[in-house]
Amino acid sequence: MDQITFLTEILLPALMSGLVVTLQLIAVSAPFGLLLGIGVAVGRQYGGGILSPVCKVFVYLIKGTPLLLLLIILYFGLPSVGITFSAFTASVIGFILCNGAYNSEYIRGAILSIKDGQMVAAQALGMTRLQAIRNIILPQALIRAIPGLSNEFIYLIKYSSLAYMLTVIELSGAGKLVATKYFAYTETFMVVGLVYLALVTITTVAVNLLEKHVSVPGMIRGETSAMQL
Amino acid sequence: MDVLAILIDWAPYLLTGVLVTLGLVLSALGLGVVMGLPMALGQVYGSRPLRWIVGIYVWFFRGLPILVLLFLFYFGIFPGLGLGDVPAFVVGAVVLGLRGAAYQSQIFRGAIQSIGEGQMIAARSLGMSRLTAIRSIILPQSVRIALPGWSNEYPNILTDSAVCYAIGVAELLTRASQIVSQTHVTMPIYIATAGVFILLNYGGIRILHRLEKRIAIPGFGSGAV
């Protein structure tokens, strides 16, 4: 069989169905990862004596554990204590926990970069703490956190490949199956790699546009990108 | 048999994995420096084609998931070069290192570019060659500036090293899953493994921070520039 037929009739259709699963994984994980990140960052910053340390320990544990080990615990470990997820659900939960923990660090950095006086002023105007966080602090902090958050989004695209280790046939998994069946490893994984490169590159361009779009004239661009992890 | 006894029984086997994991991480970090520093210099001071090649390299290795890179090299490129017998450990270390070089080159590049251009001009006007100026003026400063960012590579490579499980390197995670399939004790083994990773992670960061303090020049550092 020649290369062209292999590429157009076998590899690309297989990768297409894999790509759909990869996009589903990302589309489900990313919004919840962002919400978890906001929640943990706010909890850590304003949570007081109990919530704040809990958030801190959560971030500490998730950042210290390899994502693959976390996924394996969720899928292969938890059934032994009676909790069973499908491979897809386990992957999504793992991605949300990991993405949320890292996002929270960027958001917390951005919250810290906003002066205390704004909180004091908001409360002096009669806002509750929660209102001030929601209407004054977070809108500014999230804009400043965009460079860091987009980095994490790109990591999420790449780490979604680990779902294959839990038997989810996403992009890398689809590639692995074709490569093994037709014994064409180099070609297959180069093409798989190019698809990931395309996803990452498109995201980078989109994020740059988004950043320009939401930037507030005169407000200093976030310095969070300097503290990349 | 009770869980604690199993854990104690298998602890030596699991902990040997620490050496394998650290072997992966240290060789990857080393390869990353050896390749990343020249790449950074090439990107700042090199000719246009050289800058272009380094740019493509960085784009490629930063854009691909580590799992895909491992599969590509382990099943494709290494056997394709007639190196099919190379142990999975070597492939894992090389892939982590090649990818680390892409990330580290950008850390070094940022540090080199943060040093004022005037220093190069001044060094040249004192009669130094470009190479001498880079070696004696630019690098001693930029390596110190790069160190905090470089330290952040350690936890990244450590957590990524677990993906070498996919090609069967006998590191911590591989050993943990072997123990699980032997003993059918699941959660305690995985949680103990996570504990070992967390210890390695934060222990390593501590050591690196100490190193940062030791080689810092008072009044000069990432904050001062």
Write out pLDDT tens, residues A26-67: 999 999 999 999 999 999 999 888 999 999 999 999 999 999
> Given pLDDT bands bounded at 50, 70 and 90, which one contains residue B220?
low
pLDDT of amino acid A219: 65
Q: Rounded to two decimals, what is the model's pTM?
A: 0.89
Distance between CA atoms of residues A115 and A137, nearest Å: 9
- The verdict on ipTM greater than 0.95 is no
Task: Give the relative orientation of helices A12-46 and A48-64 as an angle to the nearest 10 degrees.
Answer: 150
Given a contact cutoff of 8 angstroms between Cβ atoms, the answer to whether B33 and B108 are in contact is: no
Q: Is the CB of B71 less than 8 angstroms away from the CB of A179?
A: yes
- Which among A64, A79, A179 has the least Cβ separation from residue B75? A179
Q: Is the CB of A189 less than 8 angstroms away from the CB of B71?
A: yes
CA-nearest residue of chain A to B198? Answer: A64
Q: Is the CB of A165 less than 8 angstroms away from the CB of B186?
A: no
Chain B residues touching A98 at Cβ < 8 A: none
Smallest CA–CA separation between B81 and chain A, in Å?
11
- More confident of the two residues B141 and A222: B141
Distance between CA atoms of residues B204 and B209, nearest Å: 9
pLDDT of amino acid A224: 42
Nearest by Cα to B166 from B82, B73, B64, B80: B73
Q: Where are the domains of chain A?
A: 3-227
CATH number for the domain formed by residue range(s) B3-215:
1.10.3720.10
Q: Which two tokens stand for residue A216?
A: 């507030």
pLDDT of amino acid A220: 55
Q: Which two tokens stand for residue B76?
A: 């494709």
Query: Is the pLDDT at B99 greater than 50, yes or no?
Result: yes
Please name the residues in contact with B31: beta carbons below 8 A apart, sequence gap of 6 or more: B93, B94, B96, B97, B98, B100, B101
**Bridge partners of residue B217, in order along the sequence:** B220
Distance between CA atoms of residues A162 and A176, nearest Å: 12
CATH number for the domain formed by residue range(s) A3-227:
1.10.3720.10
A-to-B residue pairs, Cβ atoms closer than 8 angstroms: 125
pLDDT of amino acid B143: 87
* Model confidence pLDDT, tens digit, residues B44-64: 998 999 999 999 999 999 999
Q: Please, what is the average pLDDT of chain A?
A: 90
> Given pLDDT bands bounded at 50, 70 and 90, which one contains residue B225?
very low
- Interface residues on B facing A, Cβ-Cβ cutoff 8 A: 59-60, 62-69, 71-72, 75-77, 79-80, 149, 152, 155-156, 158-163, 165-166, 173, 176-177, 180, 186-187, 190-191, 193-194, 197-198, 201-202
Smallest CA–CA separation between A135 and chain B, in Å?
32
Nearest by Cα to B62 from B147, B153, B164, B174: B153
Q: Is the dihedral of CA B22, B27, B28, B32 positive or negative?
A: positive
Distance between CA atoms of residues B72 and A151, nearest Å: 24
> Given pLDDT bands bounded at 50, 70 and 90, which one contains residue A9?
confident
* Model confidence pLDDT, tens digit, residues B20-37: 999 999 999 999 999 999
Please name the residues in contact with A129: beta carbons below 8 A apart, sequence gap of 6 or more: A46, A119, A123
Chain B residues touching A76 at Cβ < 8 A: 177, 180, 186, 190
Give residue for tokens 């180069």: A190
CA-nearest residue of chain B to A200? Answer: B63
pLDDT of amino acid B43: 92
* Model confidence pLDDT, tens digit, residues A204-228: 999 989 888 887 776 655 444 443 3
Chain A residues touching B77 at Cβ < 8 A: 186
Given a contact cutoff of 8 angstroms between Cβ atoms, the answer to whether B194 and A57 are in contact is: no
